[in-house]
Amino acid sequence: MAPDGHADIGGIWEALGTVNWDLQDHPSQGGPYFQMGSLGAVPSGRGVVEGGSIPYKPDALVKKKENFANRWKLDPEVKCYMPGIPRHLYAVSVSNRTVREGDSDGLQIGRAHV
């Protein structure tokens, strides 16, 4: 606990895993162009969802599959944009730091502040 009675979540947070590609268990996949080798490839990984599956509504599952099929056009990271929250919290090779100033909590991501 912090002196003000709130939970102390300060510190450096870094997620090491493959949830940046999928929250559920997933196989490895090659990148968009074999000429680029492993660039853009997805490593296989264990998910972080208890029970292994997310109970998507039918239309949400269709949207998830559509987003995945079009990821090379739609993904912000492909366009060199920062991913949004919460994805940025578990992106590969990103350290996050929580900061408390007075009554405000903040999140420092690399050199950007959110």
State pLDDT tens for residues 24-42.
Answer: 899 998 888 888 888 788 8
Q: Which of 24, 20, 14 is nearest to 40 (CA)?
A: 20
Distances (CA, A) of 52 to 22, 23, 48, 67, 89: 12, 9, 8, 20, 21
Amino acid at site 32: P
Residue 4 lies in a domain: no
Residue 108 lies in a domain: yes
pLDDT above 50 for 86: yes
Residue 52 lies in a domain: yes
49-73 per-position pLDDT tens digit:
888 889 999 999 999 999 888 988 8
What 3-state class would DSSP assign to 87? helix
Query: Bigger pLDDT: 100 or 54?
Result: 54
Number of separate domains in the chain: 1
Structural domain of residue 31, as residue ranges? 11-113
